[in-house]
């Protein structure tokens, strides 16, 4: 596992192979995503400018536009949220003071509803344009992520927010929703992860040999289809079985087609990847006798293993200095090498998850503050392509670092890494923080 240690702040379908990865020694993010669709929520707020401004509390109208990177997710996926805030706040121009660039930090909250009921807080970057005297605040764009933890429809509703300024004197301008809840701004759906599994009694057999396929985690008392495939194409061999009250089954499939490279299992008679397992690698041995007067040479190629190694077990991240705003500590994940020598049709997935950063005394920094930007490359000649995970939160729920898809033939060697970013809250306790990042290959 990767232990993430932070230096001083001054003033993570198949059997999983788990490997410890590195100590991130922190000395520390938000990632932008392309919105899939936009929706506005208009609501009344009560805003309280800082006393130094001389502006009394007032009521006004806020327009919040919330988008997500897509609309459908699987439980465990990372949801990337982009929130555009149009606030009734005006700057300190009412007492004739322009605000330079990069002095304002917006913080917004989003109430999840439906399948999830969490209140999420997203902190925007301190990257405002220069605001002239007597000018309104610009719209603020804030990006954040959360993990879909429950199946069903999930609504995103804007809630209270705050605009923090570091110009001159650090000040806050909180705005609360007058008649909560505000209108829903976006809706997404999450489906349950596929927990179905299947195993073969043998990874190979002569022409016409029968392989026993056992499965678990399927829908109870449901018909399943067991079929031979070559990559994404069926080879015509199939049989049916019925699951028991626990969702388990056992079936026998005779495999005669030399082109068969794998076996799949799916519920019903129509293939749906959401209720399917496989392809599980299987090879047919050609035992056809040679013509008279000739000799037949046969070689058996046995599958190897799926494994990973890492360059080191400690990552030292940059130190940060407290300044009254969110600071970012950065570093790089130690290089991870994935070796797939199985020679089958099944891909792989490398995921990571982090613990909270433990600091001095009871001080902590949430694992949700740790983001990464994955990268991966495949060695020349590798049958599989290496796909990096999406940039975003690592968190305690975990995220995909890299993967390779199922295919007719998979395998190869892959180099995986990631840039790391830890958002350190504005008023953290000074000291050393550490976390453990665990990588799981399956």
In DSSP notation, 187-215 reads EEEEE-----EEEES-SEEETTEEEEEEE
For residue 197, the model assigns a pLDDT of: 86
Residues 98 and 67 in one domain: yes
At residue 30, the 3 state secondary structure works out as coil
Residues 224 and 126 in one domain: no
CATH code (residue 101):
2.60.40
Burial of 96 (0-12, 13-18, 19+ CB in 10 A): exposed
Task: For residue 189, tell me if it sits in a domain.
Answer: no
Percent of the chain topping pLDDT 90: 29
**Rounded-to-integer distance, Cα 183 and Cα 40, Å:** 9
Among 81-85, 202-206, 291-295, the range with the most confident prediction by mean pLDDT is: 81-85
Q: What are phi and psi of 96, to 5 degrees?
A: 55, 65
User: In this structure, what DSSP letter does residue 99 have?
Assistant: B
Record the tokens describing residue 95, joined without a space.
Answer: 């007492």
Q: Examine the fold and report which residue of 285, 314, 346 is the final residue of a domain before the chain moves on.
A: 285
Q: Worst-scoring range by mean pLDDT, 14-23, 133-142, 313-322, 373-382?
A: 14-23
Residues 121 and 149 in one domain: yes
Task: For residue 193, tell me if it sits in a domain.
Answer: no
Q: Examine the fold and report which residue of 285, 316, 338 is the final residue of a domain before the chain moves on.
A: 285
Q: Worst-scoring range by mean pLDDT, 56-70, 92-106, 126-140, 388-402?
A: 92-106
pLDDT band at 340 (very low <50, low <70, confident <90, very high): very high
For residue 257, the model assigns a pLDDT of: 84
Residues 244 and 308 in one domain: no
**Rounded-to-integer distance, Cα 185 and Cα 39, Å:** 5
Higher pLDDT, residue 298 or 236: 236
Q: Examine the fold and report which residue of 184, 217, 247 is the final residue of a domain before the chain moves on.
A: 184
| Mean pLDDT value across residues 393-416 | 88
Higher pLDDT, residue 272 or 123: 123
Higher pLDDT, residue 429 or 21: 429
What's the total number of domains in the chain?
3
Q: Which residue has the tokens 């809630």?
A: 159
Residues 62 and 163 in one domain: yes
Task: For residue 299, tell me if it sits in a domain.
Answer: no
Residues 23 and 95 in one domain: no
Task: For residue 297, tell me if it sits in a domain.
Answer: no
Task: For residue 434, tell me if it sits in a domain.
Answer: yes
Residues 60 and 18 in one domain: no
For residue 271, the model assigns a pLDDT of: 84
Q: Which residues make Cβ contacts (< 8 Å) with residue 413, sequence separation at least 6?
A: 337, 338, 339, 340, 378, 379, 382
pLDDT band at 232 (very low <50, low <70, confident <90, very high): confident
Residues 236 and 332 in one domain: no
Q: For the chain, how far is it from start to end, CA to CA, in angstroms?
A: 15
Average pLDDT of the chain?
82
Residue 21, pLDDT > 50, answer no
State pTM to two decimals. 0.49
Residues 268 and 317 in one domain: no
Residues 14 and 53 in one domain: no
Task: For residue 220, tell me if it sits in a domain.
Answer: yes
Residue 1, pLDDT > 50, answer no
Task: For residue 375, tell me if it sits in a domain.
Answer: yes
**Rounded-to-integer distance, Cα 5 and Cα 160, Å:** 33
Task: For residue 266, tell me if it sits in a domain.
Answer: yes
For residue 64, the model assigns a pLDDT of: 94
b or e along 208-244 (b: 16 or more beta carbons within 10 Å of the residue's beta carbon)?
ebebebebbebeeeeebbbbbbbeeeebebbeebebe
Domain hosting residue 330, numbered range: 2-28+304-441
Record the tokens describing residue 83, joined without a space.
Answer: 């929130």
Per-residue pLDDT tens digits for 84-139: 998 887 544 454 567 788 888 899 999 999 999 999 999 888 877 887 777 777 88
Record the tokens describing residue 92, joined without a space.
Answer: 């300190």
Residues 274 and 210 in one domain: yes
Residues 84 and 211 in one domain: no
* Residue 241 vs residues 205, 265, 269, 272, 282: alpha-carbon distances, Å: 21, 10, 11, 17, 19
| Mean pLDDT value across residues 402-412 | 86
For residue 42, the model assigns a pLDDT of: 94
Task: Yes or no: say if 208 and 253 are a contact pair by the CB < 8 Å rule.
Answer: no
């Amino acid at each position: 596992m990767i232990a993430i240690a932070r230096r001083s702040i001054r003033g993570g379908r198949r059997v999983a192979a788990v490997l410890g990865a590195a100590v991130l020694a922190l000395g520390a993010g938000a990632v932008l995503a392309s919105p899939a669709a936009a929706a506005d929520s208009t609501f009344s707020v009560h805003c309280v400018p800082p006393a130094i401004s001389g502006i009394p509390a007032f009521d006004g109208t806020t327009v919040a536009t919330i988008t997500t990177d897509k609309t459908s997710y699987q439980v465990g996926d990372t949801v990337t949220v982009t929130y555009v805030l149009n606030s009734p706040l005006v700057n300190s121009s009412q007492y004739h003071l322009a605000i330079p660039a990069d002095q304002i930090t917006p913080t917004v909250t989003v109430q999840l509803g439906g399948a999830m009921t969490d209140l999420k807080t997203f902190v925007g970057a301190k990257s405002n344009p220069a605001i002239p005297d007597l000018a309104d605040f610009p719209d603020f764009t804030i990006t954040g992520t959360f993990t879909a933890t429950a199946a069903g429809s999930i609504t995103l509703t804007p809630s209270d927010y705050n605009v923090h300024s570091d110009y001159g004197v650090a000040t806050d301008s909180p705005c609360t929703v007058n008649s909560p809840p505000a209108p829903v701004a976006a809706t997404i759906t999450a489906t349950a992860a596929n927990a179905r599994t299947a195993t073969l009694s043998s990874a190979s057999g002569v022409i016409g040999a029968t392989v026993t396929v056992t499965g678990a985690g399927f829908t109870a008392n449901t018909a399943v289809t067991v079929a031979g495939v070559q990559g994404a194409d069926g080879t015509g061999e199939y049989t049916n079985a019925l699951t028991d009250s626990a969702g388990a089954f056992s079936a026998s499939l005779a495999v005669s087609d030399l082109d068969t490279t794998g076996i799949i299992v799916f519920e019903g008679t129509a293939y749906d990847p959401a209720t399917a397992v496989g392809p599980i690698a299987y090879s047919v041995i050609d035992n056809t006798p040679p013509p008279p007067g000739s000799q037949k040479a046969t070689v058996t190629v046995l599958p190897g293993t799926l494994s990973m190694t890492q360059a080191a077990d400690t990552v030292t991240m940059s130190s940060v200095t407290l300044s009254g705003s969110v600071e970012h500590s950065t570093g790089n994940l130690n290089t991870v090498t994935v070796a797939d020598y199985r020679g089958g049709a099944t891909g792989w997935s490398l995921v990571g998850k982090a613990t909270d950063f433990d600091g001095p005394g009871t001080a902590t920094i949430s694992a949700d503050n740790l983001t990464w930007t994955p990268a991966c490359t495949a060695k020349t000649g590798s049958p599989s392509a290496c796909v990096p995970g999406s940039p975003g939160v690592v968190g305690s729920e975990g995220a995909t670092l890299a993967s390779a898809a199922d295919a007719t033939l998979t395998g190869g060697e892959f180099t995986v890494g990631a840039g790391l970013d830890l958002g350190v809250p504005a008023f953290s306790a000074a000291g050393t923080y550490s976390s453990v990042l665990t990588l799981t290959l399956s």
